[in-house]
Structures are given as C-alpha cells and as structure tokens.
Amino acid sequence: MPEALKVNAARALDVEDLSVRYGTSTAVDGVTLAIDPGEVVALLGPSGCGKTTLLRVIAGFVRQAAGRVRVDGATIDHLPPNQRNIGIVFQNYALFPHMTVAENVAYGLRARGLKGPDVQARVSRFLETVQLGGFKERLPRQLSGGQQQRVALARALAIEPSILLLDEPFAALDRNLRLDMQIEIKRLQRTLGLTTILVTHDQDEAMSVADRIAVMHKGKVEQFDTPVAIYDQPQTLFVNGFIGTTNLMNGKVASLQNGTATVALDAGASLTLPAPAGVGIGAPVLMSVRPEQLSLSATPGPDAWKIEPGLALPIGAQLVHEARAADGTFLKIIEPRRAVLGETARTYCTLAADARPTLFPRST
C-alpha cells in the first residue's frame, strides 16, 4: 500500500424504509439496513430482487419513491452522485469505451471539480494500486475482463470514497482471478477503512467476504445477519432454501411445552424441537435440516425413521448419501468418510448429535 493513499474514516450507512418503483412495479420494497462503519455487507438474492436498484439509489443514480439514505447520520438524498463520497463498481464495469484507462479513472475526479496535476497523480496512484500502472493509454477493449474490472475498481477508489458499492464485481472472472480479487478487495477495504456493500450471486463469496449478509427476495430484505446465523438460523423458508442445501420434511405438531414442540414426522418418527412462533397443536410444519445434520443408523428408535438407501457418493473427505423416506421424501445425508468396510446395513435415519433443525409453519 503506497503511503500516499489516504485513509478515509469509515462512515456508517443507514438505509431507512426505502422503496423504489418503476411505473407500477415495486423494485425495492421498504428496505431498512443499518450498516456499521468499516463493515462489509453482502447483498444476496435471486435475479430481479432489487439489488442493483438499491445500490443505484445509495449512489444517487435512481430516485426513491419513499425512505431515506443517511451517511453518518446525515441524509444524502438531495445530493447528486458527484457530491456523494461513494465509489461504485457497476455490474458490467461500465467503462467508457472511447476513453483510455487513465481517462476512465480520471472521470469521477473531474466530475468532482479536480484539475491538472492532482488528477494525474491520483490516477497514477490508483492504477498502481490495482497493478495496472503500465496500461494508462489503452482503451477498454484492449484489456481482458479482469483488467477492465480492476480499472473500474481504480475509478471507484480514485475519488477516495468512504463507502464502496460493488455490484457483482467478480462475476466475469475465472476462479483463480476471482479469489485474487476477493482478497485484494478485502485488503483495500480494510486498509482504506471502507464501509462496503457487495452484491453477489455467489453464496460462498458472501459467506467468506462479508461481516453480515442481507438476503433479498422480491424487493424486501428477508434476513440481515452474520453468515453463520443466516446458515444455522434462517428466519424464513426462502432464506433457508436459498442458502446452502437443505432437506425439508413434513410433519405435525403433536404437543407443545415451554417453547418446544414434539413433531410427528410423516416419515415416521417423533422429534422434540424449538417451536416456531404461532403454531398450535395439530399444525402442519416443515422441518428443515441440513444434510450434515442427519446421520444413518442401523437401529430403530422413536426418533429414527426408516429409509431406503440410495447412492453413496464420496466427495472429498465426505460421503454423500441419497435416501428415500417412507413418506416419499428424498433425503441427502452427508457424513465424514469412514475407513470401515462391510458395515451393517444402516436403514434408519436420525438427527446427528449436534443437529439444530429449524421448524417452519406450513400452509396447507
């Protein structure tokens, strides 16, 4: 990191009850996110759920129908993009094709009224930062995808923002370059103290880069939490299904006591689990359980259900079993690969010792 790089104080970013409409359709629907200074937040969600629109409002390119954006407590909604101290890397890089690399990086600086040698110095400095010092006079079409991506990053950083918005910046990169860029962005974000929102389609990327993840669905944030909490304690069926692999099993609440429910699974077992809010005795429920939270057993029992074993595929250090339960549910079960051969047939399935399945109310 060149010492001349200015370290901006990280700023808090507050999105409050924000809605955006295009004609009669609502692209962003009452989104609230309170982001801490220096935090990296990943926005995760299916295509069309409003991720880009949300970033464009924060950057000032799209006007909201309702709600506010605050930076360090002050509203910025009245400011045009060039008066917001926010760097953005667009989904498609959006480099100006007729401008050289240097002119592209200088663009935001000129839009902010900087002139002459100051501009040249900053352009050089940030192109060095992304390791493209020798590419100043090239046009975007003379660069690879990864190089264009780094120019877009240099352009966003050159204005010395306190907030960085990244819209799927790694989508077009191959695996190795992607990992390099993830590390590079994390390093720059730390060193420069940037509060960052990263839009991604990639769950693993969200899990590894972000301090917190906001999962969006149809314009709304369904859960805003740490990666571990999103994975282990999904609040909605959508979040549950969107993150990681899960098994869903039907059942009914047989009894309720002090916040725990005894659930009779249709597959034929009885389990005691934390009860979801608002379900009564007899209510139909869905149990979500991750493949690694199930285990196979040779012995029957009240909390074990009969299965018909299917394929077993070794994947790395793990063995992935497929099985079919008595009610027809197909299950995936992941276990550490064992050295033991010729074991007895394990035709029962049960919860692994530390399993924490989630119950959701099911509408019939």
Residues that bind ligand ATP (CB under 6 A): 22, 27, 45, 47-53, 91
Provide the residue type at 160 as one letter. Answer: E
Nearer to ligand ATP, 168 or 292 (CB): 168
Rounded to the nearest whole angstrom, what is the least distance from the CB of residue 221 to ligand ATP in the complex?
Answer: 12
Nearer to ligand ATP, 201 or 324 (CB): 201
Where b means 16+ CB within 10 Å and e means fewer, 108-127 reads bbeeeebeeeebeebbebbb
First to last CA, the chain: 58
Rounded to the nearest whole angstrom, what is the least distance from the CB of residue 167 to Mg ion in the complex?
Answer: 6
Name residues whose C-beta falls within 8 Å of residue 318's C-beta, 6 or more positions apart in sequence: 334, 335, 336, 337
Nearer to Mg ion, 19 or 52 (CB): 52
Rounded to the nearest whole angstrom, what is the least distance from the CB of residue 94 to ligand ATP in the complex?
Answer: 13
Rounded to the nearest whole angstrom, what is the least distance from the CB of residue 43 to ligand ATP in the complex?
Answer: 8
Nearer to Mg ion, 101 or 216 (CB): 216
Nearer to ligand ATP, 171 or 177 (CB): 171
Nearer to ligand ATP, 91 or 347 (CB): 91
Nearer to Mg ion, 171 or 177 (CB): 171
Cα angle 200-203-207, degrees, rounded to a multiple of 5: 100
Strand pairing partners for 14? 34, 70
Rounded to the nearest whole angstrom, what is the least distance from the CB of residue 54 to ligand ATP in the complex?
Answer: 7
Is residue 149 part of the contact set for Mg ion (CB under 5 A)? no
Distances in Å between the Cα of 180 and the Cα atoms of 173, 174, 202, 318 are: 10, 10, 16, 27
Rounded to the nearest whole angstrom, what is the least distance from the CB of residue 234 to Mg ion in the complex?
Answer: 23
Give the separation between CA 324 and CA 261, rounded to whole angstroms: 25
Distances in Å between the Cα of 169 and the Cα atoms of 8, 27, 245 are: 22, 21, 25
Backbone angles phi, psi at 3, to 5 degrees: -65, -20
Distances in Å between the Cα of 147 and the Cα atoms of 32, 107, 122, 134 are: 34, 18, 18, 12
In terms of DSSP H, where are the helices of 80-174?
Answer: 101-111, 116-129, 145-158
Residue 53 binds: one of ligand ATP, Mg ion, none (C-beta under 5 to 8 A by kind): ligand ATP
Nearer to Mg ion, 95 or 132 (CB): 95
Residue 22 binds: one of ligand ATP, Mg ion, none (C-beta under 5 to 8 A by kind): ligand ATP
Rounded to the nearest whole angstrom, what is the least distance from the CB of residue 34 to ligand ATP in the complex?
Answer: 21
Rounded to the nearest whole angstrom, what is the least distance from the CB of residue 33 to ligand ATP in the complex?
Answer: 15
Give the separation between CA 290 and CA 312, rounded to whole angstroms: 17
Residue 8 binds: one of ligand ATP, Mg ion, none (C-beta under 5 to 8 A by kind): none
Cα angle 148-150-154, degrees, rounded to a multiple of 5: 115
Query: What mask of x and - would describe binding to Mg ion in positions 33 to 62, judged by CB under 5 A?
Result: -------------------x----------
Strand pairing partners for 75? 70
Residue 363 binds: one of Mg ion, ligand ATP, none (C-beta under 5 to 8 A by kind): none
Provide the residue type at 266 as one letter. Answer: D
Per CB under 5 A, residues contacting Mg ion are: 52
